[in-house]
Chains A and B, each alone.
Chain A
Amino acid sequence: MAKKATHIAIYGKGGIGKSTTTSNISAALAVMGYRVIQVGCDPKSDSTSTLRNGDFLPTVLDTVREQSQLKIEDISKVGFAGVLCVEAGGPLPGVGCAGRGINSAITLLTEMKVFEEFKADIVLYDVLGDVVCGGFAVPIRNGLTNRIYVVSSQDFMAIYAANNLFKCVAKYANSGGALLGGVIGNNLYGSHAEELITDFTQKTNSAIIDFVPKSLVISQAELHGKTAVEAYPDSKEAQKYRDIAKKIISDETVTTPNPMDGLALRDWARGWGDKILKERTNAVFTI
């Protein structure tokens, strides 16, 4: 019997760096010798573009719409270091149901035995934005994924989205849903970022995986249609992603997060706001 791949879902607020993080992790894992599949679960279908030089890749859903018999080649492309890239795709903005789209794309991949035939060691799902309805919670439910990770910056709205996601994980925790691997801090700047995110994870029974700073190397790589791991393998950013990748593939520790309720989260954020403001003000006075 073929060994079963580890399935990992990566969530986070829109624009926070899910695709960047996921693609770099995929690249790092592939370089380490793992067979990796990355599935973009986002109608924008841009999740895997830095793994394949921004080439055109038809989405699963667009392809099903046109033809009935699908082959793996029709809906995937082998990218950097052998990563198999798949984009679920979805409807046009404002039309149909993207949540259901993700659902049916994943079902299709499973039915086509893509994971087995590719002999994948790990499958990474890069899931669109905030969990806005049941459809987007599918990778968390029903044991589809082994663990989920959340990407967050220190901005309140990113933390808010992470907290919402924790609610979703906690909700399905007792019925076979995936549990939380931890939080990946990303796009961090300023002196309080790491401390703030660490505090949040401590308050919510979640773990910190690592912190990725806001970095020119990462944006520069993206402009070249590549991951930092591919474009600047010697950079400290690439090293960071390799560390994260190692942790994700080898550390199976999970927690059931304990999200804050709305008021607690607000008060918590206010506390941090006041603290940061005070220190900045003090800093001005000391100049």
Chain B
Amino acid sequence: MTDQSVTFTLNGQQREAAADPRMHLGDFLRHSLGLTGTHIGCEHGVCGACTVIVDGSPVRSCLMLAVQIDGGTVETVESLGKPGDLSPLQKAFSANHGLQCGFCTPGMLMTLEAFLRTTPAPTEEDVRVAISGNICRCTGYQGIVQAALDTASAKANRT
């Protein structure tokens, strides 16, 4: 099939690129645009590794076609902090050992990033439910949950 042009906002930048109509957003970000921070763990919408934020909501990029983001806004893990300048959530992941192999991590971060924007003062149960669509085989989840709680309470203390 012939490629289709898509125009969208990616991590704050206006982008235009060509996408094969059958290509999913995850592959498009990774292989067409070179943003390999987004990971593919199952390609059937269960593991959450591919989660990115589309128009403010967490979305499984393996279940969305690249052409569907035309006119939309996409945020990926690359939009958070940089190695020398981590975001509060990223710092909290490190402090709480919320990652081991790092494969689920971008999806976890983007899920929680979107969640904390709408739920600034979550309970532990809230956080566990929020990431109940993200599989982590390494951490047992506890460090991830604590990272989200710490980030929320640190923000509450600052404001």
Please determine whether chains A and B interact with each other in the same assembly: no
Report B's interface with A, CB cutoff 8 A.
none
